[in-house]
Structures are given as C-alpha cells and as structure tokens.
C-alpha cells in the first residue's frame, strides 16, 4: 500500500513517550521521519532528568515537557489529549527506545483507514520468527493476553505491546479514560467495554537500542499483581447510568 498517496488527506500523529532516553531518542525520531514522512511527531518528555527533551528539540519535533514523572500511562494520555486538541485522525504510539520499527506504520494504520478497527496493536506473536524475551516477561505477556482474550471474547496475542494505532474515536475515548500506572491490558478491556473494535497486525520488535526497561527488579514482581487486581476491579465495576 502506498501510504504517502493514500493517506495524504489524513492527519497522523506519532506519540513518543520518553523518560531518560537521551541515548536512543535522536535515532528513533530520525527513523520515523525517514520511514513515515507523512506523520507529525510529538515527544512527551515524562519528567526526564537527562537530555531527552533537548535532543528531541534539536530534531525539530514538538516536545511536551511534563513537570514530574507520571509514568507511561500519564505520558501516553497526554499525547492523546494533544491529538484530540489538534484534531488528528490517527495517533500512533511508538516507544523511544528503538524497539518499534516505523516501517510497520503502514500496516498498523491500514485497518483504521479501511474502517475495520478503532485500535490496532502491533503484535510480535503473529510473526513466524521466534520471540527473544526473558522467560518471566514472555510468561507475563502470555498470561495477560490470555486474560484479556477471555474477558473481551476474542483472541489478543500481544496485549502488552506499546506499538499501537488509534482512530479519532479511540483518541477521544482514551484522552478522557486511560489507566495511570500499567495501561497495557487494562486499556484494551476498557476500550472493548466502550464498544471500540481492536485488531492486531504482525510486526517485529527489536532489542532496545539503549537504556533499561521500566519493568525490572521489584517492579517486575509488582506489575502482574497490580494489573490483575486492576482488571478484576474493572470487570466487576458497575456501569454508570
């Protein structure tokens, strides 16, 4: 699909949440510009204490500086609020660490343009190549994908993927409703309950080009417990009338 020609009338925004990603943010932004020149880019600087914001500004993209570290949920929702304010048709979330290959942006937004989905997840588990991930993380992804699939009634293979695209309807919803802490599975369940259609497309993930994952040490143990409790609370919550 020739994205440049077919999407010329759409406003597409790439949201890059970043916390202390000075070693990778520059290369990530340049790769997005090279492989998806039709998109606008915004970096949500999530209270970084390094040169993340300065490097992003040197690459001539819009930077929103959060005064404190809100975490991935708060940073991403800030991007959605900006996308809503500026009336973007599509918003794409891409990590600052180089794991997400912008070459897949065309595949990611295709279901949105065709009107067959509101949210598209780039799944590393739909690709035939083996997944390179620590065993405990691999098990966590499988567990939460299974739990999400059971709750929403159709299969999701990679609910923790941060490589996602949303149409204006989903942008509107998530700009007002988004989990603060670990938004992965919880956000998808919320979206499903709100009537949004979710699909997955195959992508390949790469190793981080620099930095460390936010899920490490004690947080890696805390994450599954907190997220499971949040999901249970979500599915037992009575709808407001």
- d(C-alpha 22, C-alpha 134), whole Å: 25
Cβ–Cβ under 8 Å, residues 170 and 77:
no
Average pLDDT, 10 consecutive residues per value, the chain (241 residues): 57 98 97 97 98 98 96 96 98 96 97 98 83 73 91 94 97 94 85 97 84 50 66 66 41
CATH number of 8-236: 3.90.550.10
Name the H helices within the chain. 3-6, 25-35, 52-58, 72-85, 105-114, 135-152, 168-176, 184-193, 218-236
- pLDDT for position 4: 47
pLDDT of residue 8: 59
pTM: 0.86
Residue 94's contacts (CB-CB under 8 Å, 6 or more residues apart) are: 14, 15, 16, 28, 32, 100, 102, 162, 163
């Amino acid at each position: 699909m020739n994205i440049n020609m077919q999407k010329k009338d759409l406003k597409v925004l790439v949201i890059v949440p970043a916390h202390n990603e000075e070693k990778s943010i520059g290369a990530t932004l340049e790769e997005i510009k090279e492989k998806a020149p039709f998109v606008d880019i915004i970096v949500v600087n999530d209270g970084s204490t390094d040169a993340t914001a300065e490097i992003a500004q040197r690459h001539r993209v819009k930077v929103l500086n959060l005064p404190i570290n809100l975490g991935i949920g708060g940073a991403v929702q800030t991007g959605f609020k900006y996308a809503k304010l500026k009336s973007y048709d599509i918003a794409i979330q891409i990590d600052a660490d180089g794991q997400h290959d912008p070459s897949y942006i065309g595949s990611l937004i295709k279901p949105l343009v065709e009107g067959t989905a509101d949210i598209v997840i780039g799944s590393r588990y739909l690709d035939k190549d083996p997944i390179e991930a620590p065993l405990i993380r691999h098990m966590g992804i499988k567990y939460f994908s299974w739990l999400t699939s059971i709750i929403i009634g159709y299969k999701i293979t990679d609910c923790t993927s941060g490589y996602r695209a949303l149409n204006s309807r989903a942008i509107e919803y998530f700009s007002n409703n988004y989990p603060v802490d670990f938004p992965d599975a919880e956000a998808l369940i919320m979206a499903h309950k709100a009537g949004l259609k979710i699909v997955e497309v195959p992508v390949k993930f790469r190793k981080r080009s620099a930095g460390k994952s936010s899920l490490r040490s004690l947080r890696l143990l805390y994450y599954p417990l907190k997220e499971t409790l949040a999901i249970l609370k979500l599915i037992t919550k009575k709808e407001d009338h």
